[in-house]
Chains A and B, each alone.
Chain A
């Protein structure tokens, strides 16, 4: 059975800290792994990863995939209060996305 597990479930850090969010998975037909950020409403797309070892980067956010060990990490450096959100990891398997429960990140000023 395809499965996505995110850790930690919640995390509280201070502004300026660096955080690492984890996403491990089990899948029968891997196509891609996606990261989304969810603030109050709609999840918004951050990254799509298809190949191992190739870092995707956008500003202070970066992500990498390890297809051998079946996990991905999302790093956020120099965190800001605006980074407070739920970060969702999803596995693309055929027509559907299989979602993790999310990591709730709170950045304290």
Chain B
């Protein structure tokens, strides 16, 4: 039972390159989230999904796209990477059972550097 798995763990990109980060969960959770974490700024929500086939913008969505074609996977794409997107990216999931007050569970993160 892996929980929340993020791939890759590390990546270095050049400005203008594209890439996709994958989040996979085996907990059958409805809600999935992508965050970025920068020093001194806490976690900021990029995009989220409340179920298969749905996505919504968070606090800092510009420069990112997402897709949730299957319930267990949530993909984060960078179409044209910029140095400002250098960050640690976390995926989180939450069950929809039991109301809003359920904790989010996190993957181990992807450290992304844009040169």
Chain A interface residue count, CB cutoff 8 Å, equals 23
B37 to chain A, nearest CB (A): 9
- A44 to B105 alpha-carbon distance, docked (Å): 7
Task: State whether the Cβ of B101 lies closer than 8 Å to any Cβ in chain A.
Answer: yes
Residues from 24 to 45 in A contacting B, C-beta threshold 8 Å: 31-32, 34, 41-45
User: What is the minimal beta-carbon distance from A72 to any residue of chain B, in angstroms?
Assistant: 15
Interface digits, B31-47 against A, CB 8 Å rule (1 contact, 0 not)?
10100000011111100
Complex CA distance for A94 and B107, rounded to whole angstroms: 22
Chain B interface residue count, Cβ-Cβ cutoff 8 angstroms: 23
Binding site for B on A (CB under 8 A): 4, 9, 31-32, 34, 41-45, 48, 50, 88, 90, 92, 94-97, 99-102
Q: B33: which A residues are within 8 A, CB to CB?
A: 96
Nearest Cβ on chain A to B39's Cβ, whole angstroms: 9
Number of A-B contacts (CB under 8 A): 51
Q: Cβ of A44: which chain B residues have Cβ within 8 Å of it?
A: 106
**Given that A41-B108, A42-B90 are known contacts, is A32 also in contact with B42, CB under 8 Å in the complex?**
no
Contact between chains at A48 and B101 (CB < 8 Å)? yes
The 29 sampled A-B contact pairs (Cβ below 8 Å) are A9-B40, A32-B100, A32-B101, A34-B103, A41-B109, A42-B90, A42-B106, A42-B109, A43-B43, A43-B90, A43-B106, A44-B106, A45-B104, A50-B101, A88-B43, A90-B43, A94-B100, A95-B48, A95-B50, A95-B56, A95-B100, A96-B58, A97-B45, A99-B42, A99-B43, A99-B44, A101-B40, A101-B42, A102-B42
